[in-house]
Structure 1
């Protein structure tokens, strides 16, 4: 778990503009954290982070995305990056159909429904935002930075 300063020294690759999110729990389930960093041309504009004493990886990933959306105005045109393929697909592919069916899916209850509903509503209010998957731990500077924010509570940083 590198610190934020170690991330900035070690990583240079990846997109240099966007909002990068990450979340996790250790162990899963267990205590967890989330992080968000908004970057324009390689310069940090804003960052947020938080933690929960009893949660899951997916809840923290969704919480990071919710906080990212709340950070942005409704007329924003920006890409929000998440390394959670599940969360990206939930919003980009599945949530519209679930909403149309009264927030039901054929295979049973939707996990973390209240967070999915909140995130989907925020995404609908911000049509200029693109939610995109980014590979985790692949050297992308700002994804690694968001990860460092999400795990800062474990290190006692920030």
Structure 2
């Protein structure tokens, strides 16, 4: 039997904020065989969690065909959200103890995009928490995300600047 997933893709993502909330950036490094792509962007007023979700969303949007994806992130919010919390949120109508799920629109988009692929979500230590155990691509994503913030603040462009609206939920 032939797999519907034509490519194996490794993705590293990161989000960053100058203040939380404040100006934020996101970045991803995608690798498949000899191919490599770096993407990044920024938003003027956002949160770190929104940037983490945006990095994963933008990375998955780059994939043209259903793929076997291993996505690495230092965000427990992202990884636990996709592997542990999401099924319960959906089953409970996007409610959680104490109210509604924050950033629901982004979670729904990420869930939709991930559904096209076979995604393994992997947490890795943050580059600044454990430089020895962290991955160089995670540090590269952090550099790209912070550069996107700086470029936006200078209004010189830089990366694919993406304004993320405040989530009403």
Q: Output the TM-score relative to the length of structure 2.
A: 0.76
Q: 1:133 aligns to what?
A: 123
Matches within 5 A, 1:16-35: 18-35=10-27
Deviation, 1:124, is 2.1
Residue among 142, 151, 161 paired with 1:147: 142
CA–CA distance in 2 between the matches of 1:65 and 1:99? 19
CA–CA distance in 2 between the matches of 1:44 and 1:19? 12
Provide closer, same or farther for how the CA distance between residues 55 and 39 of structure 1 changes in structure 2, counting only shifts above 3 A: same
Structure 1, unpaired ranges of 5+: 1-16
Question: How many residues are paired up?
Answer: 140
CA RMSD for the aligned pairs?
Answer: 1.9
Q: Is residue 39 of structure 1 aligned with residue 42 of structure 2?
A: no
CA–CA distance in 1 between the matches of 2:81 and 2:149? 28
Verify the 8 A CA contact 1:37 1:44 in the aligned structure 2: no
Q: Is residue 103 of structure 1 aligned with residue 103 of structure 2?
A: no
Deviation, 1:117, is 1.1
Q: Output the TM-score relative to the length of structure 1.
A: 0.80
CA deviations over 1:50-101 (Å, ceiling 9, x no partner): 0000000000000001111112245211201111011110111111111122
Deviation, 1:44, is 5.5
CA deviations over 1:12-57 (Å, ceiling 9, x no partner): xxxxx7210000111111000000111246x561111100000000
Runs of 4+ in 1 over 4 A off after TM superposition: none
Q: Is residue 61 of structure 1 aligned with residue 56 of structure 2?
A: no
